[in-house]
Amino acid sequence: MSEKLLRVENLRVSYHTYAGEVQAVRGVSFELDQGETLALVGESGCGKSVTARSLMRLNKVPPAEIKPESNVLFQGQNIYQFDAARLGRYRGQDAAMIFQDAMAALNPTMTIGRQVVETLLHHQALSKKAAREQVRILLRQVGISEPDRRFGQYPHELSGGMRQRVMIAMAFANQPRLLIADEPTTALDVTIQAQIIDLMKELQQAHQTAVIMITHDLGVVANLAQKIAVMYAGTIVERGSSREIFYRPRHPYTNMLLEAVPRLDQPEDKELASIAGTPPDLLNPPPGCPFCSRCRYCMDICLKERPPVYQFEPDHQADCWLYALDKPAADAPFTRRNDHE
């Protein structure tokens, strides 16, 4: 068994606010191999962005607190024990991040060319001239037409899709092993979203980059991710291969997420599965299953104790008391979607 590229163990992140301690991430664990794509899926406030940011050590401490039992191992090394120099190399060279709002992530007072050049020069011993040349190649690679003219433009002169392309160029500038993409297409129109997803796929394959894709839209990752982890209220409630998650969801929340969005290929009169209520307040998370107050299969034990992890296929786990019933690996009470086996 070779060393995992990234191993996250029991990540816990809290924010100290005036109202108290918000437990944004409450014990998240996952692993990632070289070249693999993992999607972290969840609704706003479920802790997916906080998880992503803590993989780059971007959470501001305080108010954030990374609990001491958390481990984030990149190629076996804990990134929370990196010194400043090692962290500097880790960020940008080993791992890179793309943000949702490119306008806010880019520096509005620098031309985009200079920003990408800066990224290159920070990590590589290049002459300025060579760096500029390489940036032009990069810009062309990410599908920016007329890179010579764009080089001297400011972020506000570009469209949203173009800005996201610049961010991707910056992220891939030093050929990182790991790319974290935090809702990279959420702010974009669908036709542009499709272009950006294509571009990310292409670059990932070319560089064998591992990708963590954060999104709330299951459709976006349907054909992008090999593995999917579904987050709810600061925990991963279900994880598995993409096919398992889409075709045999085990956790009621995952099932609901799939049923709540209308699909283009379904008849219009199909009613959307709607779930009453809202996610729990993480200032005061419930002692039991975080989803129990909205779950239609809620049992007494769900209110009291957090469910253990149940294993289905080798690559499929769900945290749900439904599977503690005496039938081993019982089928979910909800109907399976499509069984392709």
Chain residues 167-196 in contact with other proteins, contact rule CB under 8 A: 189-195
With binding defined as CB under 8 A, does residue 276 bind other proteins?
A: yes
Chosen residue from 86, 263, 296, 336 binding other proteins by CB under 8 A: 263
Among 256, 295, 318, 332, binds other proteins (CB under 8 A): 256
Helix (H) or strand (E) holding 86, with range, is helix 84-89
Q: Dig out the tokens for 145 from the structure.
A: 């037409």
Choose the binding region for other proteins from 72-80, 100-108, 275-283, 303-311 (rule: CB under 8 A): 275-283
Cβ closest to other proteins, residue 137 vs residue 260:
260
With b for 16 or more beta-carbon neighbours within 10 A and e for fewer, the 254-293 pattern comes to bbbbbbeeeeeeeeeeeeeeebeeebbebeebbebbbbbb
Cβ atoms 165, 185 nearer than 8 A: no
Run of H or E including 151: helix 147-151
Among 57, 114, 140, 243, binds other proteins (CB under 8 A): 243
Q: Is 207 helix (H, G, I), strand (E, B) or coil?
A: helix
| Distance in angstroms (rounded) separating the CA atoms of residues 319 and 341 | 24
Buried b (16+ CB within 10 A) or exposed e, 44-66: ebbbbbbbbbbbbbbbeeeebbb
Closer residue to other proteins (CB): 262 or 287: 262
Nearest distance, CB of residue 299 and other proteins, angstroms: 21
Choose the stretch contacting other proteins; rule: CB under 8 A; options: 81-89, 134-142, 206-214, 252-260: 252-260
- Binding of residue 283 to other proteins (CB under 8 A): no
Beta strand pairing call for 37-41 and 20-32: unpaired
Applying CB under 8 A, which of residues 76, 267, 314, 328 lies at the interface with other proteins?
267
Our CB check for other proteins shows the closer of 271 and 326 to be 271
Q: How far does Cα 320 stand from its chain's mean position?
A: 22
Q: Which residues make up the interface to other proteins (CB under 8 A)?
A: 43-44, 159, 161-162, 189-195, 198, 216-220, 222-223, 242-243, 246, 256-258, 260-265, 267-268, 270-276, 278, 294, 338, 340
